[in-house]
Amino acid sequence: MAEFRPALFKVGLFAVIGRIINQNSVGILVNVRTDQEKQRKLAELPDDWEGVIVDLPGGTFQMGDDTFQTCLAREIREETGGCEPGFFASILGPFPMIKADTGTADKPHDLAFVAACEITGEPIPTPEASEHRWVTWKQLQEETEFRLPGKLGKNGRMAKMIEAAMPLFAAQ
């Protein structure tokens, strides 16, 4: 009989930080990743691709975080150089990443949640983001100038989180 071992998970939290650009468009704040070459290889992009790999501010829920919002606020401050989040939408999710080779202490499954919010202040470069850009959902879907991480890019989990959060900006 096989030994029963509970599946292990880490919990990730991400922010879709939005800013109304005009009547028809929301800008999404993305981090330009500092590990571009590594991300290009993981995504299996051609050598001549000239865009940048971007992601959302976020990180892992840690011991000592009282709530998802305190964790996410900490991550936003860390990755934007001190910008203060203003939460206006409930946390959405989970968005799971469960693979055959995960679920152990060394390589846990991953559950991610996302919140739509605004920030005060202007982001500055940090060790996790060489720069920040305001992009549209359409720009991320085109994948010519900006691309979300991983092999799936616009079809991956981060894209699903952005897509789920976008209607919340229209309600504001």
According to the model, what pLDDT value does residue 131 have? 97
Confidence label for 161 from pLDDT (cuts 50, 70 and 90): very high
Contact (CB, 8 A) for 27 and 135: yes
Cα distances (angstroms) measured from residue 15 to each of 89, 103, 138: 11, 25, 18
**In order of start, what are the domains of the chain with their CATH numbers?**
9-170 (3.90.79.10)
**Amino acid 120: pLDDT:** 95
Q: What is the pLDDT of residue 125?
A: 97
137-150 per-position pLDDT tens digit? 999 999 999 999 99
The residue with tokens 């010519």 is 144
110: confidence class by pLDDT, cuts 50, 70, 90: confident
pLDDT of residue 143: 95
Give the 3-state secondary structure of residue 35: coil
Of the listed ranges 84-93, 101-110, 114-123, the least confidently predicted one is 101-110
CA pair distance 111, 161, nearest whole angstrom: 12
pLDDT at 5: 61
| CB atoms inside a 10 Å sphere around CB 72 | 26
pLDDT 10s digits, 61-90: 888 888 999 999 999 999 999 999 998 778
Instruction: For 18, list phi and psi in degrees, rounded to 5.
Output: -120, 155
Q: Residue 57: which pLDDT band, with cuts at 50, 70 and 90?
A: very high
- Judged against a pLDDT cut of 70, whether residue 44 lies above it is answered with yes
> Two tokens at 13?
């939290």
pLDDT for position 145: 96
Question: Who's near 156: CB < 8 A, 6+ residues apart?
Answer: 148, 149, 150
Q: What is the pLDDT of residue 6?
A: 62
**How many Cβ atoms are within 10 Å of 156's Cβ, its own excluded?**
16
